[in-house]
Amino acid sequence: MSKISVIGAGTMGNGIAQTFALHDFHVTLYDINKESLENARSTIHKNLNRMLAKELINELEIKNTTNNLIYSNKFDDLSSSDLVIEAITENYETKAIVFKKLESYCSDDCIFASNTSSISITKISENLSNKHRVIGMHFMNPVPIMKLVEVINGSHTSSEVTKKIIDFTKSINKIPLTANDYPGFISNRILLPMINEAIEALDSGVSDVKSIDGIMRLGMGHPMGPLQLADLIGLDVCKSILEIMHTGLNNEKYRPNKLLIDLVEKGNLGVKSGEGFYNYSNSKKAEVVSKRFSK
Ligand SMILES: NC(=O)c1ccc[n+]([C@@H]2O[C@H](COP(=O)([O-])OP(=O)(O)OC[C@H]3O[C@@H](n4cnc5c(N)ncnc54)[C@H](O)[C@@H]3O)[C@@H](O)[C@H]2O)c1
């Protein structure tokens, strides 16, 4: 596989594209929204320069990575891909439309991977004529740093496709671990109830944002508190994942907390919108707790 396409240039798509480009793959990063593409370009530029400053990469690697990347809003540009990784909004209908359209643009050998956090891979493949090529490739945020890729086999995924994706994941210096096709897989089935419970604790006045996050960092050894992590993931994404698990697993414990729903309705989505449980207007560091959540 030499030509990779990434669909969706948001929080995850730009990290996935950067990682592949840094490992010498030709990458087309596609989005319907031109602003997302411009933001992705500038985020990748900043990330690469941060890595240079830390002496993790050199000038030549920056140049090659930059040359390996094409930013596009033309679907045609995806046609010669060997692997397409979809990283668009966490919504089944939106994803299904994109994959159906991809079928008429890509060759039969092209593998279709979804970075979905919770949607069934089997369901995503259901309306496609070649279901065997569809697989879940669930990268973690931030992609350039996190080692894990959760690999999810749908009921139709061929063993050949799984093997290729596992080998391929290793080739970009990531660690593939497999999970079966249940809503939320493993990572979000365990993580999201914790985030939801932290929001519930905040909402019922058990403690404030700084203390909840501090207790989980210092007491449990988590690198980041659950509310700060929710801001990083995107509160809209957290809400969608919980809704999918709530419906798919038919269990009340996954119902998104009301405060989470309110914040999403107000457009407070976390880091990407500038405010969630923390305020990010001056810097991307979550140091300023929004007054609303301080005691
Ligand atoms: N945010 C996380 O921490 C995280 C972690 C792992 C997996 N995921 C999953 O990755 C996927 C993307 O999440 P995100 O956080 O990057 O979302 P995001 O909201 O940051 O970005 C989504 C991007 O998709 C684009 N888009 C929407 N519809 C499109 C279409 N039809 N065609 C092309 N582009 C389209 C949007 O313009 C936007 O740029 C979701 O499935 C999510 O569940 C997210």
Same structural domain, 21 and 149: yes
Helices (H), the chain: 11-22, 34-53, 59-67, 92-105, 121-125, 159-171, 187-203, 209-214, 220, 226-233, 235-248, 258-265
Same structural domain, 151 and 243: no
Reported as a pLDDT band with limits 50, 70 and 90, residue 169 is: very high
**Reported pTM:** 0.92
Same structural domain, 80 and 133: yes
Dump the DSSP string for 198-222.
Answer: HHHHHHTTS--HHHHHHIIIIIH--
Q: So what's the pLDDT on residue 282?
A: 72
Asked if 117 is an active-site residue, the reply is yes
What are the pLDDT digits (tens) for 37-93?
A: 999 999 999 999 999 999 999 999 999 999 999 999 999 999 999 999 999 999 999
Asked if 80 is an active-site residue, the reply is no
Q: Contact 115/87 with Cβ under 8 angstroms?
A: yes
Same structural domain, 10 and 71: yes
Same structural domain, 145 and 195: no
Q: So what's the pLDDT on residue 292?
A: 61
Asked if 156 is an active-site residue, the reply is no
Range of the domain at 231: 188-289
Q: So what's the pLDDT on residue 133?
A: 98
Reported as a pLDDT band with limits 50, 70 and 90, residue 211 is: very high
Residue with the nearest Cα to atom 29 of ligand 1? 88
3: CA distance to ligand 1 center in Å? 21
* Residue 219 belongs to domain with CATH number: 1.10.1040.10
What are the pLDDT digits (tens) for 170-195?
A: 999 999 999 999 999 999 999 999 99
